[in-house]
Structure 1
C-alpha cells in the first residue's frame, strides 16, 4: 500500500503543478449518464441495477462522464479553461484477469473549454511526464479520429459508428464482415484499410495526405511541431479510433513495453465534445485516464520507508504513552508501543519481526535518570541517551 500511495502522490503533485484541481464525483450515478455517452451496449459491461424507488443506477465505469455532468451542473460559469484531475475507483462487470479487475482505480484529467491544439499538447505532456516520473517503459501512440470520420462522412451515422468501434477493437475480421453486409464503396474500403495501417513518425503524414487530400492538416501539423519541440517521444498510429462517438480529434494511447502481457495499455485519452449530451453547451474538452492498477504492477519505484521505533517496557504504560506521543510529534516516525502486556523478550522479538529500526527501552531506572536505552536494530549497537539526544538521532 505504501508503494501505491507513493505513485498516487507523484501523479497528484505533477497534475497540481500544471494547475489542475481535484474533483470528486459520486460512486453511484444515473445509468442514463453512461448510456447517453456510450450507448445501450455498455449495460452488459457495468454494474447496473434499480434502487428501492425503481431508479436505474450504475456504479461508475469511468470518470469522464461524471466529471462532465458536474461541469454542466455546477461549474459551467467558471472561468475557462477549467482543469480538473481525479483519482477514484471504478467498476466493470466482467471476468477478472491480470491487470483487469472488477474494481479498479483511475487517475485522470479533464481540460474543459479549449479547442486549440495547445490543449491537446498540454494534456499529452502531462500524461507523458507522469509516466516518465514513474520511470515506466512505455510507447506513446497518437492518432486523429477526424481522418476516419472524414472518410466516413457519406456513410450513415449508425454504420459509421459501428465501423469506428470495430477499428478501435482491432477486429479486422468483424470489420470485413460488417462492410460486406451492405453496399460499401470499394474505393472507400481500400482507403480505410490503408489509413488504419499507417503507423510511424510524422513523415507518414505524407501518405495520409494522399488518402485524404481534402483534409485540413494545419491542426495536426501544429500539434506535431509542438510535441517535437518538447522532445516528446511518440509515433503516429492512424488506427487508433477510440470507438466512442464523442471523440472528435486527437486521440492517444500509451502501452507498457513489458510486464503486463495482453493488457498492456496504461493510458488512453483524446479530445471530445460531451457536455451538450448532458444539457450543457457544446464545449470542447480533452483529457486522459491512467490505469493505476496496471501501473502499480510494473512501477519499480520504492516508497520511502518511514522509520519505525518500538518502545519496550514492563509496567510503565502511562509513561510510555507520554514518551511515544512526544516522539511522534518531534520525529514524525512510526512509534509503536506494546498493547498486549507481553514480557520483555516477546516485545523485543516483535520489534525484530516487524523489522523496526530502533528499540527504545523504558524501565524504572531509565524514567528516574531521564536516560533511556536506544538500540539500533540494524547494527545491534545500543546507547544510553537523554530524550533530547534520542530525538536528535531519530529526526
Structure 2
C-alpha cells in the first residue's frame, strides 16, 4: 500500500533543500550582523499559551491534542508567544534589550492553497525591552535588508495601530477587536455591515474609512494629524527620519491593523509584487506587549516573522555548489575508501561506489550524478603512488601524486 504525505505538507528534494538552506543562510547572517542570537522553543506547547491571547476560538485552527497524561497541548502555530514565554521563564533578569532570532516550522489546521500550508516555516526576530522609535527602526531595517539582499521584488508598508485604537477607544473591547480584524482582512463590505449592526456613530465610521484609505509617502502623516488632531504623531515622524537616513523604501499605510490585539504601536507588512497571487504577504510585524499575559512584567517588544515558504517560492537565489568527485575503485575497495576519506578531510564532496559495479558502470554513474571529476584507484595507481584524475566535463586526464591531486582539485573547485 502506498502511503501519501499528509495534506498541507511537502517533501523537499536535494535541489530544493539546497536553495532553502542558501536563503536561510542569508537570513541568519544578516540577523547576526545586527547582534541577534538564535533561540529555539519546543515544537508543542501548552494549549493555553495560544488561547490566552487569542481566545478559545483559535483551537479550531490548531493541531491541538491531549497527551497521555490528559494535558491539553498544541503544535505551535507561530513563534512570538513561545518566545515571550521563554523570556518570562528564562530571561527576565537578563540585560535589555534582548535580541533573539529563530527559524522553525509551525502548524495550522486550515485549508491548504498556493502559498499556504499546514506545516510552514518562519524566520523571525524579537527585540525585547524597548518601546523607542529606534527599536522599531532597527527591526524594520533588518527585515528590509534581508528581503533586499535576497533580491525580492517587494513593497514595505508601515502603519500605526495606535491611530485606530484611539478612534475606537469608546467602543466595547470585543467590538473594537472585531473591527480591527475586519480592517486587517481588508473586508470593507463586512466592516460597513458591522458598523451599521452596532450602530456606530456616523462620524466615527467616516473617520475609520478615511484613515484606512490613507496610503502614500510620509506626507500621509500630516493628513492623519488633521483627521485625529489629539493623537501624538511624533513617534512615527522620528521613525521615518531614521528609516530615511538608512535609505529604506517604504509606504505609509494607516490601514494596517495586523488583526491581533497585542499589537500596540508601529506595525508593518511586506508584499511580493509578483509570483504569489492573493497570498502575497511575505513579512509581518510590529511593536507589541505580551509578557504580562504569561505571568511576567509588562515589557515592550518589537518583532517580525518572514514567511519562509513564500519567499522560497519567489526567490531566485543560486545555492553555492561544491563539485562532486567520484573515486572509482578498480578492485581495491579499502584503498578507494581511504583516498576518499582523505579528500573529504581536505573539504571536497566525495562519492564512492557501494554497489560493487565494474569500472564502466562506475564512470556511467559519475556522469549520471553530474560529477566534475573522477579519481581512479587501481593496482597501477597504488604501486606508483600517482592517481589518475579525469575531468568529467572536458575529458582530460592527469597522473598526479596525492599532494598534486589535492592542489589541482582545490584550484579547480576554488577551495581555499
Superposition TM-score tier, normalisation by shorter sequence: over 0.9
1:190 equivalent in structure 2: 206
1:321 equivalent in structure 2: 337
Determine if the alignment matches structure 1 residue 383 to structure 2 residue 398: yes
Separation (CA, whole Å) in 2 of partners of 1:182 and 1:120? 35
Separation (CA, whole Å) in 2 of partners of 1:339 and 1:125? 50
1:179 equivalent in structure 2: 195
Determine if the alignment matches structure 1 residue 355 to structure 2 residue 370: yes
Alpha carbons 2:133, 2:239 under 8 Å: kept: yes
What are the superposed Cα offsets for residues 52-97 of structure 1, whole Å, 9 maximum, x if unpaired?
2221110000000000000000100000000000000000101211
Alignment of 1:211-360 (within 5 A): 211-330=227-346, 332-360=347-375
Determine if the alignment matches structure 1 residue 371 to structure 2 residue 386: yes
1:126 equivalent in structure 2: 142
Shift of 1:183: 2.2
Separation (CA, whole Å) in 2 of partners of 1:352 and 1:319? 22
Structure 1: any 5+ residue segments left out of the alignment? none
What are the superposed Cα offsets for residues 176-227 of structure 1, whole Å, 9 maximum, x if unpaired?
1211112211000000000001100001112111110000011111011111
Separation (CA, whole Å) in 2 of partners of 1:42 and 1:379? 60
- SS of the aligned residue for 1:99 comes to coil
- SS of the aligned residue for 1:54 comes to coil
2:56 to 26, 36, 40: 40
Q: After the TM superposition, which of the residue ranges 89-98 and 142-151 deviates more from structure 2?
A: 89-98
- SS of the aligned residue for 1:202 comes to coil
Separation (CA, whole Å) in 2 of partners of 1:21 and 1:179? 45
What are the superposed Cα offsets for residues 326-358 of structure 1, whole Å, 9 maximum, x if unpaired?
10112x111111011001111000000000010
**Superposition TM-score, scaled by structure 2 size:** 0.94
Alpha carbons 2:330, 2:376 under 8 Å: kept: no
Separation (CA, whole Å) in 1 of partners of 2:78 and 2:299? 20
- SS of the aligned residue for 2:179 comes to helix
Separation (CA, whole Å) in 2 of partners of 1:321 and 1:52? 48
Separation (CA, whole Å) in 1 of partners of 2:406 and 2:393? 18
Shift of 1:13: 0.8
- SS of the aligned residue for 1:312 comes to strand
Structure 2: any 5+ residue segments left out of the alignment? 1-16, 411-416
2:168 to 152, 155, 163: 152
- SS of the aligned residue for 1:360 comes to strand
Q: Which runs of 4+ in 1 moved over 4 A?
A: none
